[in-house]
Amino acid sequence: MNINKRYKDRLFCLLFGNEEYKENILSLYNALCNTSHTDVNDIQIYTIDNVIYIEMKNDVSILLDSYLHLWEQQSSYNPNMPLRGMMYFSKMYDRYIIEHSYNIYGSTLIKFPTPRYTVLYNGTSEQPAFMKLRLSDAFIHEDTSGDFEWTANMVNINSGKNDDLLNNCKPLQEYMLLIEAIRQNRSQGMEVEEAVDKAVTYCIDHDILSAFLTKHRAEVIDVCITEYDEQVFVNGIKEEAREEGREEGIKTGRKEGIKEGRKEGIDIGEKKMIFKYVSSGRISLSEGAEDAGMSIDELKEAMSKAGYKVPME
C-alpha cells in the first residue's frame, strides 16, 4: 500500500520520540532500565523516519550510554515482533556504521551499541505482565543452540499489570489514562471522533498531559482517530482474508485457494481504506488513485459502486 510518504506519528511517538519532550524519553528510559540519568542532552534520538507500518510510524529509538534502544507500542499481540525488531536494528546498525565510517571487511573488531528491544503492549486482549518473544520460535526447524536468536521483551502497560513502571514514569501513566478514557467512551457507544475529543477534554480538565494536549490538541485528535482506523483496517484485512480464503478453499478444495483468498482479502481491505480516506478528504483523488494503482476515473467509478462519496477534484 503506497501511502508511506504521508505518514503520521503515533501518539506514543509524539510523547516519547520527540526532541521537544526529551524529559518524557528520559523518564521512560529510567523507569524501564531502573537507572537515574538526569541530563536529557545525553539522549540521541535514533528513530529511522522512513520505516513505518501502513501510514503510521510505529517506533521510537534512542541511543544512550552505548545502548541502542527500540521501543514499540502495540495495541494488539504480535508474535512476529522479534523478526520486525531484528530487521529494524539491522537498518540502525547500518546507519551507525556509515556515520562512523567503519570498515566491516577489515581485521579489526568493530564495537557498536548494545541492543535493547522493548514492546509496550496496551491492547485489550488479556496478556501476561511480561513476555519474552524469541525469533527461534518461528524457525521451521527447531534450533535450541541459541546461535541464532533475537528477542523482544513485551511489557504489558495496562492497569494492574506493571503499575510500578507506570508510577515511575508519569508521562506513560498519563498516556494510558488518556487511552483508557477513549476506550471508556467507546464502550458507552460514542463514535470514535466524539470518544477521542471528549477524552482529550477530560484529560486537559483533570491535569492529565494537560500542557501537551492543550498545545497539540488538533494533532492528537487526528492521530488517535487514525490509529483507531488503522486498527479497524488491520482487523478487517485479517477477517476478510480468512473469509475469502475459506470460501475459495471450499470451492476448489485446494490449498492454493486459501492463498489466493488471503491475497484478495488484503487487496479489498486496502482499497476500502483508500476509498474512506479520499471520501473524507484526508488524501486527494490523485493520491488515492496512485495508492490504489488505478486511474482517477477508475477510482471514481470504484468508489461510487462501493457507496463512497466521490469528492470534486
Which one of 132, 150, 168 terminates a domain? Answer: 168
Does residue 215 form part of some domain? no
* Mean predicted lDDT score pLDDT of the chain: 83
Q: What distance in Å separates the CA atoms of residue 173 and residue 159, rounded to the nearest whole number?
A: 9
* Total count of domains within the chain: 2
Does residue 191 form part of some domain? no
Of the candidates 161, 110, 103, the residue with the CA atom closest to the CA atom of residue 131: 161
Task: Check whether residue 264 and residue 143 sit in a common domain.
Answer: no
Does residue 72 form part of some domain? yes
Q: What is the pLDDT of residues 199-227, one digit of tens each?
A: 999 999 999 999 999 999 999 998 888 88
Q: Which range marks the domain in which residue 245 is found?
A: 226-305
Give the DSSP letter string of 210-275.
HHHHHHSHHHHHHHHHHHHHHHHHHHHHHHHHHHHHHHHHHHH-SHHHHHHHHHHHHHHHHHHHHH
Does residue 89 form part of some domain? yes
Which one of 168, 203, 218 terminates a domain? Answer: 168
Does residue 257 form part of some domain? yes
For 290, phi and psi rounded to 5 degrees?
-65, -45
Task: Check whether residue 163 and residue 15 sit in a common domain.
Answer: yes
Task: Check whether residue 12 and residue 154 sit in a common domain.
Answer: yes
**What is the pairing mode between strands 44-45 and 60-64?**
antiparallel
Of the candidates 231, 232, 123, the residue with the CA atom closest to the CA atom of residue 176: 123
Q: What is the pLDDT of residues 140-154, one digit of tens each?
A: 999 989 899 999 999
Task: Check whether residue 139 and residue 41 sit in a common domain.
Answer: yes
> Cell match 528477542: residue?
151
DSSP 8: B
Does residue 195 form part of some domain? no
- The per-residue pLDDT for 288 is 80
The helix (run of H) or strand (run of E) holding residue 204 is: helix 192-205
C-alpha cell at 234: 488491520
Task: Check whether residue 161 and residue 294 sit in a common domain.
Answer: no
Task: Check whether residue 123 and residue 238 sit in a common domain.
Answer: no
pTM above 0.95, yes or no: no
Does residue 56 form part of some domain? yes
Does residue 192 form part of some domain? no
Of the candidates 212, 306, 313, 288, the residue with the CA atom closest to the CA atom of residue 55: 288
